[in-house]
Amino acid sequence: MSRAAVFIDGANLFYTQRHLGWQIDFSRLMALFMSAYASVQAKYYVPASEPVSEENAAFTRVLTAHGYRITSKPVKKIVNKETGVIVMKGNLDVELVVDALIDVDQYDTFILFSGDSDFLPLIRALKAKGKEVIVYSTQGLSARELLAEPGIVYGDISVLKERIEQVRLGDPPRIEGVLGSEQEYSVRLPDIGELFTGTVLKVQPYGIFLSNPFHVKCLLPLSFLGISKYIKDLTAIVRMSDVFEVSVFNVNNAREIAEITVKLVDKRMAEELTSRIEG
């Protein structure tokens, strides 16, 4: 399996989600790519306004909790001296391009979330270096030049709706296009004993990190799998396609990014993992 690098043009993705009428669950998006590649590095580029609201801070924690690295810079207010019109400028295209080229030896597949044709020179440079290039946007917001570019894979985000759409808990949260805007992104912590189903984000010798509807770090420890047999290598028996029904055992909100520990409650999955050990 190859290594992937996901580069997200946050402002462009904001308009894409508004155009589609639904929002992306970034934990599910990460899980989607983790199931297809040996490793995934994800970077999110977005302009920021001051002061940073609680909702914006929550949005940042959501991304960070699920492995995204955020690059932002302040929005500039530029005044046209002739007309007096104030123009807001916060483009991070250059930062995205520079990072993609600096990290070029760290990935085999370059995945871009943007419909902006300004990235064509980068795409061509990466193809010349032998990289696989995949571009995600949607019809109506994708530049014609991108759609016509040979040698790249174009994916319409709308096709991924069932796999990455935001799962609503109570009132639907709203994803931000500019950090510092007045849009809401609320995050609630679960109650002890609360049940939910999570997919695999990462497997470590000591446990499994799961996606979750609370957008926090979620660990299913090896000792909470309910398996009595000795497990020599957890990574050898857990598959990225596995789905775990779990119960919340502990909630730790003392850190910047809240963490929860969960226990496996699905006996069938425990039996399946046991059979893989024996097999």
Are both 91 and 17 inside the same structural domain? yes
Tens of each residue's pLDDT in the chain, 279 residues: 689 999 999 888 988 998 999 988 888 898 888 888 888 899 999 887 666 666 667 777 778 877 889 998 877 666 666 666 555 566 789 999 999 999 999 999 999 999 999 999 999 999 999 999 999 999 888 999 988 899 999 999 999 998 888 765 444 444 444 443 333 444 578 999 999 888 887 888 899 998 887 778 899 999 999 888 888 889 889 987 788 999 999 999 887 678 999 999 999 999 999 999 876
Q: For strand 3-9 and strand 109-113, is the pairing parallel, antiparallel, or unpaired?
A: parallel
Domain finish residue from 164, 186, 215: 164
Bridge partners of 113, per DSSP, are 8, 136
Q: Is 107 exposed, middle or buried (0-12, 13-18, 19+ CB in 10 A)?
A: buried
Q: For residue 99, what are the CA distances in angstroms to 31, 122, 132?
A: 23, 11, 17
**Runs of H (alpha helix) within the chain:** 10-20, 26-34, 54-65, 93-102, 120-128, 144-148, 161-164, 234-237, 267-278
- Please report, for the chain, how many H helices and E strands are present, in that order: 9, 13
Q: Is 247 exposed, middle or buried (0-12, 13-18, 19+ CB in 10 A)?
A: middle
Tokens of 64: 């960070």
Are both 147 and 203 inside the same structural domain? no
Query: Is residue 58, in this structure, part of any structural domain at all?
Result: yes
Query: Is residue 178, in this structure, part of any structural domain at all?
Result: no
Tokens of 124: 């061509």
Query: Is residue 212, in this structure, part of any structural domain at all?
Result: yes
In sequence order, which residues have a C-beta less than 8 Å from that of residue 139 and are 6 or more positions away? 156, 158
Query: Is residue 173, in this structure, part of any structural domain at all?
Result: no
Query: Is residue 41, in this structure, part of any structural domain at all?
Result: yes
Quickly tell me which residue has 């809240």 as its tokens: 258
* Structural domains counted in the chain: 2
Question: What letter would DSSP give residue 84?
Answer: -
Query: Is residue 268, in this structure, part of any structural domain at all?
Result: yes
What does pTM read for this prediction?
Answer: 0.65
Q: 226: alpha, beta or left, given left = phi > 0 and alpha = psi -120 to 50? A: left
Instruction: Provide the CA 246 distance to its chain's centre, in angstroms.
Output: 22
The CATH number that applies at residue 226 is 2.40.50.140
Are both 153 and 211 inside the same structural domain? no
Residue 245 domain boundaries: 195-278
